[in-house]
Amino acid sequence: MDLGNKADQVTEMTVSPDGSEIALIARGEVFVMSTRTGATRRVTSTPTLERYVSWSPDGRSLAYASERNGTWDIVEARLTRDADTGLSGAVPVEERILVGTAEDEFSPVYAPDGGRIAYFRNRTELRVRHRGRNFGDRPARKRVQFLL
């Protein structure tokens, strides 16, 4: 697999649950590469940055932090057709803001069942949001203390 001229610009990467794709952050944008063919698809094209990419358990969605509206929000890119088997070759891919507030949200991680996303608000507060339902988000049930 050859990353070509993007190799020295990759700042993050994560492998899909089935190992068939790799999500990359390069030049502040999200890319997905097939591990079988090397085909690479650019998922985002924004004038701002994306970071902290995470795969859903079924491998059909990515969550990431995006700085599009002056603050960091949690955005999801997902496959829209059942026939598509991976993000690297799919057209179209739907993007939606999962968490968009006046606060900064970072580091989204899907729950093992894919029904919730955990993330940090303002780098200090762990929060959980139900995905796909309009329940909003709430603080995690247990208080988390970080020792720096």
Give CA–CA dist 104/109, Å, rounded.
16
- Phi, then psi, of 5 in degrees rounded to 5: -75, 0
pLDDT computed for residue 36 by the predictor = 92
User: 45-82: b or e for each residue (b if 16 or more CB lie within 10 Å)?
Assistant: eeeebbbbbbbbeebbbbbbbbbbeeebbbbbbbbeee
Per residue in 62-90, pLDDT (tens digit) is 999 999 889 999 999 999 888 888 888 87
Q: What average pLDDT does the segment 34-54 reach?
A: 93
> Is 29's pLDDT higher than 90?
yes
Per residue in 123-140, pLDDT (tens digit) is 889 999 887 655 444 544
pLDDT computed for residue 148 by the predictor = 39
pLDDT computed for residue 121 by the predictor = 93
Q: Which residues contact 41 (CB under 8 A, 6 or more apart)?
A: 31, 32, 33, 87, 88, 89, 90, 93
Per residue in 91-118, pLDDT (tens digit) is 788 999 999 999 999 999 999 999 999 9
pLDDT band at 2 (very low <50, low <70, confident <90, very high): low
pLDDT band at 24 (very low <50, low <70, confident <90, very high): very high
pLDDT computed for residue 145 by the predictor = 45
Q: What average pLDDT does the segment 36-63 reach?
A: 93
